[in-house]
């Protein structure tokens, strides 16, 4: 586990694991174990469920979709970049996201 936070607004622990390379089933199993441990030993009555976040330099979409998102509502996997995007890259990403939202059926 690389980072552990307690979010006072969400009233829960947020566990963050940083991984170089591709997301694996072992990474998910390890995070699941940490989340369960925090639920049992660190959380107190009134806390919301612990959130586990795995940040990887290369995300395996299949593992993320079927192992993480469908089975555990509190585990998430996301990809990070090893460099900051350029201003043009950020503009393209924002435009792509804006179009995606506009195309979404209401």
Question: Distance of CA 80 to CAs 33, 52, 100, Å?
Answer: 23, 16, 21
Q: What is the mean pLDDT of residues 6-16?
A: 91
Whether residue 56 lies inside any domain: the answer is yes
- Return phi, psi of residue 36, to 5°: -60, -40
Distance CA 106, CA 95 (A): 20
* Count of domains forming the chain: 1
* Res 13: pLDDT: 93
Whether residue 88 lies inside any domain: the answer is no
Whether residue 39 lies inside any domain: the answer is yes
Choose between 56 and 70: higher pLDDT.
56
Distance CA 49, CA 24 (A): 23
Domain that holds residue 28: 3-81
Residue with tokens 């079927």: 66
Whether residue 11 lies inside any domain: the answer is yes
Whether residue 91 lies inside any domain: the answer is no
Whether residue 57 lies inside any domain: the answer is yes
Choose between 85 and 102: higher pLDDT.
102
HSE, side-chain direction, 13 A CA sphere, residue 84: 2
Whether residue 54 lies inside any domain: the answer is yes
Confidence of residue 106 (pLDDT cuts 50, 70, 90): low
Question: Distance of CA 103 to CAs 1, 90, 91, 92, 99, Å?
Answer: 38, 20, 18, 17, 6
Beta-carbon contacts of residue 83 (< 8 Å; ≥ 6 apart): none
- pLDDT for residue 98 is more than 60: yes
* Res 1: pLDDT: 85
Whether residue 99 lies inside any domain: the answer is no
């Amino acid at each position: 586990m690389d980072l552990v936070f307690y979010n006072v607004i969400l009233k829960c622990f947020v566990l963050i694991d940083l991984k170089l390379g591709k997301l694996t089933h072992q990474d998910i199993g390890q995070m699941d174990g940490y989340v369960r441990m925090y639920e049992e030993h660190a959380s107190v009555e009134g806390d919301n469920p612990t959130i586990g976040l795995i940040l990887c330099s290369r995300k395996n979409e299949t593992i993320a979709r079927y192992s993480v998102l469908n089975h555990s509502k509190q585990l998430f996997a996301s990809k990070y970049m090893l460099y900051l995007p350029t201003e043009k890259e950020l503009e393209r990403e924002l435009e792509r996201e804006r179009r995606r939202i506009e195309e979404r059926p209401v």
